[in-house]
Chains A and B, each alone.
Chain A
């Protein structure tokens, strides 16, 4: 078999695999642009006969519709909560990761393992106790309450990735800078931080996707447009007797697009970041 046929075969196989990966998701997104009768038709209508923005109009309450879903408020909440919690998780992660990478101290391994294991607690087991504590503190249905939870959710993994990344950077670089008269803080900022950027970016995208998509805790801790996020808003389409599939699919498109754009921008860093971040402990 020549190299050329080989590469053609691998290209074709790749294409088929990509098709399997994307089809279910694309079908949902496509359904967002089709009228409900066409989506639920039996036998199925495979080639869309009519593409429409009606589902989006209905969501945004344009024209004559019974219910508008406050999707702009959800969008705003999602953006604020996901970006803020990601930013904080990264700062906390840099600080913690740096500590693990650069210092020796008592209980280091225990602490590290403890942090990791804190992430294993299933959301459903956490939801009620957190709810009760939050209620006492008045944090229910606030963006702050959810941000705090997401930071805690993301910190273990962020620390882990960033820790691995700092280890990649030879200690000598920062030490040399300190010899040259930089403070430790300056050495970190000028030398180590820029080198760790890819790792930080990949930690960031994971944290962002987790916060952006999280449902189990958000559905318990949010109440209204003050703090409801897009995934929680998805359940607005389920009434007692009916589910508005078309509206839900349109909403899916709204949820996915920002995440997709962001990932596309950051993905180069993502691979680079992961390459070194986690493994070379």
Chain B
């Protein structure tokens, strides 16, 4: 009964929304309504919010931002809200990795939003935003990582000669992860200079392992619904991290690194190669960075299966089932993901989810003569279109990741062998899966 009535409300709301959006937001549409929202905060995310007053002026509604926190805290807060049944807000920031956990908290946007709004976002992105056939989030920008490198190291003739002598092939920005390993070990001179680095804790290392696993040709889940990452491919994937750590080609502190450390570390000019997000591109080539003008960028390398790594996720907005005015909420998130909004974010270096905005930002950067940004957006655009894949769409991703990452760390620091660590993690993960049923 409860489900049925919810469903019919949603359908009804959807029907109204469709008619409403035919002409876009109209003046005074939601006069006097206060839309309560929970948004992700932080320097990269806030410029978009400066557009909120525009939406308020256009619709007559008022936006009340209940919280503005980083995503890990927001996640905790939303879980608490679910637990206490206090969903008294309409729109929440969301992310591909977190979305499957929230169950029926958020509505299926397919029902609420008109097709042309959904269709304006890249297909790949929408696919990753779909959980159990429900489109639970509308993406504002995407994250995928690619390989940054210090150009001058590769142009140095002595480096080229030495490398060729040692490894038997020409020194060039790497095509495969095996080459990354060779080059990282070649460039490393600890503790002053490191070959590469990786995030070593929390969901960061789980996600990095996952994309290596996929690039090695393995899969996270088997056909029996249990995890399958403790396979031969899994061991190969994990061994890559272990070997680099053992060779001291990465900083000894990596098991404690998150994106903060890797980004600032690369910008400090003490790391040769670094797989990182697009959001850092402008910073790496700015005056705040020691390697300004010396940064190169290529698509993420391939694993032994020939597939490139491409763990990606999108930052997004979702609408709660409990929302009392879904039309207003729909209008709000449509506005924050429309062409102009995405251009605001793109100009700060974030990757748009709308193909038309991506094209436009490349044109705009060309016109400004900013070759670096053109290259950045082209590279990230390509990998988003061709390489990107999201984490497995299950609400168990984060709990499994919490079992997995301490084991990955144990292997990296040499407490366990890769096989042993993965077997232990798999046992714990399978128990989680069993508990579900």
A and B touch in the complex (CB under 8 A): yes
State the interface size on chain A (CB cutoff 8 A).
25
The residues of B that contact A240 with a CB separation of less than 8 Å are 40, 42, 44, 70-72, 259
Cβ of B277 under 8 Å from chain A: yes
A interface footprint on B246-263 (CB within 8 Å = 1, 0 otherwise):
000000000000111001
B86 touches A135 (CB 8 A): yes
Provide the bound-state CA to CA distance between A132 and B82, in Å.
10
Q: How large, as a class, is the contact surface on chain B? A: 35 or more
Provide the bound-state CA to CA distance between A131 and B76, in Å.
12
Name, among B76, B81, B260, B270, the residue most crowded by chain A CB atoms within 10 Å (CB to CB): B260
Interface 9-residue window, one of A26-34, A173-181, A231-239, A255-263: A231-239
The residues of A that contact B270 with a CB separation of less than 8 Å are 42
Cβ of A223 under 8 Å from chain B: yes
Cβ of A220 under 8 Å from chain B: yes
Q: For residue B45, which residue of chain A has the nearest CB?
A: A239
A239 touches B44 (CB 8 A): yes
The residues of B that contact A66 with a CB separation of less than 8 Å are 43, 46-47
The residues of A that contact B69 with a CB separation of less than 8 Å are 235-236
Cβ of A46 under 8 Å from chain B: no
Provide the bound-state CA to CA distance between A242 and B264, in Å.
8
A37 touches B288 (CB 8 A): yes
The residues of B that contact A140 with a CB separation of less than 8 Å are 84, 86
The residues of B that contact A241 with a CB separation of less than 8 Å are 42, 44, 258-260, 263, 277, 279-280
Q: Which of A195-245 contact B (CB under 8 A)?
A: 219-220, 223-224, 235-236, 238-244
Contact flag A238-B43 (CB < 8 Å), given A135-B85, A136-B84: no
Q: Which of B183-235 contact A (CB under 8 A)?
A: none
Provide the bound-state CA to CA distance between A236 and B67, in Å.
11
The residues of A that contact B258 with a CB separation of less than 8 Å are 241
Q: For residue A220, which residue of chain B has the nearest CB?
A: B80
The residues of A that contact B260 with a CB separation of less than 8 Å are 241-243
A239 touches B73 (CB 8 A): no
Cβ of A67 under 8 Å from chain B: yes
A interface footprint on B105-137 (CB within 8 Å = 1, 0 otherwise):
000000000000000000000000000000000
Rounded to whole Å, the gap between the CB of A50 and the closest CB of chain B is: 15
Cβ of A113 under 8 Å from chain B: no
Rounded to whole Å, the gap between the CB of A247 and the closest CB of chain B is: 10
Q: Which of A54-75 contact B (CB under 8 A)?
A: 66-67
Provide the bound-state CA to CA distance between A101 and B73, in Å.
45
Provide the bound-state CA to CA distance between A119 and B315, in Å.
41
Closest 10 interchain pairs by CB?
A239-B42, A135-B84, A241-B259, A135-B86, A132-B84, A67-B46, A243-B260, A242-B260, A223-B67, A240-B70
**Contact surface of A with B, Cβ cutoff 8 Å:** 37, 40, 42, 66-67, 128, 131-132, 134-136, 140, 219-220, 223-224, 235-236, 238-244
Supply 14 further A-B pairs (C-beta < 8 A) apart from A131-B80, A134-B84, A240-B72.
A66-B43, A67-B43, A131-B84, A136-B84, A140-B84, A220-B76, A223-B66, A223-B77, A236-B41, A239-B41, A240-B42, A241-B259, A242-B260, A243-B260
Listed by A's residue number, 10 A-B pairs whose Cβ atoms lie within 8 Å are A131-B84, A135-B85, A136-B84, A140-B84, A140-B86, A223-B67, A236-B41, A239-B41, A240-B40, A242-B259
